[in-house]
Structure formats: structure tokens, C-alpha cells
Amino acid sequence: MTQFVKAVLFDLDGTLIDTAADFVRIISKMSRENDWQAPPEADIREQVSAGASAMVQLMLRHNDQLEVSEAELLDFRQQFLDDYEAEICVDSCVFNELEAVLTALEEKNVPWGIVTNKPRYLAEQLLKKMQLDERCAVLICPDDVSRSKPDPEPMYMALEKLAIPRGAAGCVLYVGDHIRDIEAGNAAGMPTILAAYGYIPPEDQKNLKKWNADYITNTPEELNRLLLSSGKFEYL
């Protein structure tokens, strides 16, 4: 059965843009500054979707820094965010094959947007650096809502910004790589696509079907084929 689509929404880190290399670089820099060993790159990648605190805590655990106070943890987190803002897009890139998806949607006059838990000041800078800011039809961040994903509030706000009624949420796809993405999309009544190529820890990889996404794509190439050539979607 063909699904009619009015818009496509993406999570940001680990779904549309591969930002992990920049986070790996920053955690490595912070580790050197403290005479510590940096965690393995793969371990850092797995924590990206969990946010800055998770990556900092990984660095601390890796170096047996288990007695760090809450205030010290917040200082490390702020340093991480400051370093990231200073060099926000050195190695980040749109995932392979997804630039073609964005271009195809634009050619069909189908708006695409982003619903992310990344702070707005960082999300806006990243999109501007990647020259995506003027192409993105809507950007919803935690700053914009009272409840972030997995609550559906950000999804509803995206619909409002796109002038799509909530009753037509079934015509808006949401793609994400975290369980909160799938829960938020499902709660809003949107068909959901799990980007299983994203920043997902091994222990979660075994349970992806339990996240109840409508579709699971294991590579960006699979997502490209699903959206553009599978025949499952017709764009309005």
C-alpha cells in the first residue's frame, strides 16, 4: 500500500548528519589536556545520541575518574560544549546518499525539516556551516518546547510550523536513530523510520524491533532506497 507523504522530518545527529568525528576529536582533546587516555572512537560514537553529559561521563569512566562531583561534571560538560561550538563542523558531513534524498524532496516541492534534542544555538550553527539552514523548512529544538522527545510536543510544533493539521500527521515521516525518536513520532501519529546505522549502543541493537518503528533501515543507502525508489511512498 502506498503512503502519501506531505513532509519528511529527521533527527539530526546520527540520522541526517554524521557528527561523531567532531565529538571524537573533542573528547580526545579533553583527554590529552587532563593526561588521560581517550575512550575508543566506537565507544564515543555510541554515546553521541545520549548527549554531551554521556560522552563526558564515558571519558571519566574510561579513566577511572569515579569520584567527580556534580559541579566538576558540569564544568567538564560546559568545556565540551564550548570546544564543540568553537569548532562545530570540522569533520561532520551529511550521511552518504542522504544529500540525494534532500535534493529529491526539494525537487518534488516536499518540505523536509529537523526535530532534534540538540540545543538550538548549536543546531543552527551546524546547519549554517553545512549550508543546510536555508533549505531546512523547519527546525525544532528543546528550547522551543516545554517537553522534548520522547514527548510528541516537538512533533506537533513541527506540524504547526509546516501548516499541516495534526489529523494529517500520518502523511509526515519521521526518521531517527534513538528510541525517543521513534516513541515521539509514534505518539504523534507519524510513520516512523529507524536509522539503525546511527549512534546505537550494541546492547540496544538486539532490541530494535521492540522500538516499534514502521520501518528499519540499516544503512543510509537503505534509507535512500526506501524513501525514493521502494514505491512505498508517494509525495504530494
Geometric angle at alpha carbon 56, from 124 and 83, rounded to 5°? 45
CA gap 99, 80 in Å, rounded: 28
| C-alpha distances out from residue 96 to 18, 34, 39, 131, 224, Å | 9, 35, 26, 16, 9
The answer to whether the beta carbons of residues 149 and 117 sit under 8 Å apart is yes
Q: Provide CB contacts within 8 A for 214, sequence distance 6+.
A: 191, 192, 193
Cell of 90: 570540522
Geometric angle at alpha carbon 73, from 49 and 69, rounded to 5°? 140
CA gap 235, 111 in Å, rounded: 10
Other residues' Cβ atoms within 10 Å of the Cβ of residue 79: 16
Q: Is 13 a catalytic residue?
A: yes
Nearest to 115 by CA among 55, 156, 167: 156
Report, as residue numbers or ranges, the catalytic residues. Answer: 11, 13
